């Protein structure tokens, strides 16, 4: 049985999976979660991808939050099972990756596992100067 802290990370990971389906972050979350199974073997990583696709299909066909809650629990159990099967070193690595995935908010993870889309901007205007910043399109008419 997993310690409570690890079970909590698995639960948060399950929620992250279920909430990402159908959003802009799904592609990245799908690959990041499947990559967690690389600590077992490549075949299990492929099975995880297939299960993630099944989750996306189920949630695309469902209406209401009940299906999302059920899928979050399904992924919680899958993540707990994965964590239980790993040695302590791999377990800690997977926990760190899960925490990063859960903590990334709306940022997207590329299939290679790199975070994309995170923008931090700072500016200081003095005197009569102006600063215009945008994370995407910006149209200024003066």
Q: Which helix or strand (DSSP H or E) is residue 27 part of?
A: helix 26-35
Average confidence score pLDDT of the chain = 85
What span, in angstroms and rounded, lies between the C-alpha atoms of 50 and 100?
23
- What is the C-alpha to C-alpha distance for residues 93 and 9, in angstroms, rounded to an integer? 12
Please give the model's pTM, rounded to 2 decimal places: 0.72
28: left (phi over 0), alpha (psi -120 to 50) or beta: alpha
Least confident of 11-15, 38-42, 54-58, 109-113: 109-113
Could you tell me what percent of the chain has a pLDDT over 90? 58
**pLDDT band at 140, cuts 50/70/90?**
confident
The secondary element (H helix, E strand) that includes residue 33 is helix 26-35
Q: How far apart are CA 43 and CA 69, in angstroms?
A: 27
Q: Which helix (H) or strand (E) holds 116?
A: strand 115-116
Average pLDDT over residues 34-40: 92
Separation of alpha carbons 72 and 14, rounded Å: 4
Other beta carbons less than 10 A from residue 132's beta carbon? 8
Reply yes or no on whether the pLDDT at 109 is more than 60.
Answer: no
In this structure, of 5-9, 85-89, 126-130, the range with the lowest mean pLDDT score is 126-130
Residue 3, helix vs strand vs coil: coil
Q: 108: helix, coil or strand? A: strand
Instruction: Give pLDDT tens digits for 40-86.
Output: 888 999 999 999 999 999 999 988 789 999 999 999 999 999 999 99
């Amino acid at each position: 049985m997993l310690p409570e802290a690890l079970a909590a990370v698995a639960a948060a990971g399950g929620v992250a999976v279920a909430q990402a389906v159908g959003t802009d972050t799904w592609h990245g979350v799908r690959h990041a979660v499947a990559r967690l199974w690389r600590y077992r073997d490549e075949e299990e990583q492929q099975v995880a991808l297939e299960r993630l696709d099944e989750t996306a299909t189920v949630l695309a066909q469902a209406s209401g939050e009940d299906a999302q809650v059920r899928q979050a629990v399904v992924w919680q159990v899958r993540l707990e099972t994965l964590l239980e099967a790993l040695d302590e070193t791999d377990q800690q690595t997977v926990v760190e990756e899960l925490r990063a995935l859960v903590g990334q908010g709306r940022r997207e993870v590329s299939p290679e596992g790199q975070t994309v889309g995170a923008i931090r901007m700072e500016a200081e205007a003095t005197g009569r100067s102006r600063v215009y910043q945008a994370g995407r399109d910006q149209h200024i008419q003066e």
